[in-house]
């Protein structure tokens, strides 16, 4: 119980300090410090959580805090873990998407009117967009030993 009371006092002090820092001019902050608003909010949340734990221990006459007996705290911990896992998965997917985007080539191609008409006709017959026909064509291109580009016959899909 004494340790929890110490944590409540520490969180209260840190909440007060971070609120003061948040309200101070930005020139006093170092270049590597985080967002003072976010830090102040984090300490406010920790302070509230430590007060909740202290009140729970007092109401239940616990001498020692036990997370297994704290139903609300355990539920919130599971929710935080699920949110963290979801955020990590979204971050990994975003990073993979960025890597894929770096590997992609986007090109703007100007075709003559005759070639453009033929490409549009091929696309219309196969039911795909002209850009998809060109992408499929590029997928199938090979370079011979002499540097010549060749494409085997194929049907756009």
Summarised one tens digit per residue, pLDDT across range 90-130 is 999 999 988 888 877 888 889 999 999 999 999 999 999 99
**Residue position matching structure tokens 């090109």:** 107
**Could you tell me which residues come within 8 angstroms of residue 126 by beta carbon, excluding any fewer than 6 positions away?**
133, 155, 156, 157
Q: Give burial (CB, 10 Å; 0-12/13-18/19+) of 113.
A: exposed
20-42 per-residue burial string, b: 16 or more CB within 10 A, e: under 16: eeeeeeeeeeeeeeeebeebbeb
pLDDT at 105: 80
| Tens-digit pLDDT profile for residues 5-32 | 999 999 999 988 888 887 776 655 555 5
Confidence band, pLDDT 50/70/90 cuts, at residue 147: very high
Query: Domain locations in the chain?
Result: 1-65, 68-104, 113-151
- Provide the percentage of residues in the chain whose pLDDT is more than 90: 62
């Amino acid at each position: 119980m004494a340790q929890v009371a110490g944590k409540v006092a520490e969180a209260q002090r840190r909440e007060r300090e971070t609120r003061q820092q948040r309200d101070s001019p930005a020139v006093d902050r170092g270049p590597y410090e985080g967002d003072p608003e976010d830090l102040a909010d984090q300490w406010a949340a920790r302070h509230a959580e430590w007060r909740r734990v202290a009140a729970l221990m007092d109401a239940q006459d616990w001498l020692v805090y036990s997370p297994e007996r704290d139903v609300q705290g355990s539920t919130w911990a599971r929710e935080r873990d699920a949110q963290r896992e979801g955020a990590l998965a979204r971050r990994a997917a975003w990073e993979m998407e960025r890597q894929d985007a770096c590997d992609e080539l986007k090109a703007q191609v100007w075709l003559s009117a005759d070639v453009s008409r033929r490409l549009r006709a091929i696309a219309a017959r196969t039911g795909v967009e002209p850009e998809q026909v060109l992408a499929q064509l590029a997928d199938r291109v090979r370079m011979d030993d002499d540097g010549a580009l060749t494409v085997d016959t194929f049907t756009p899909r």
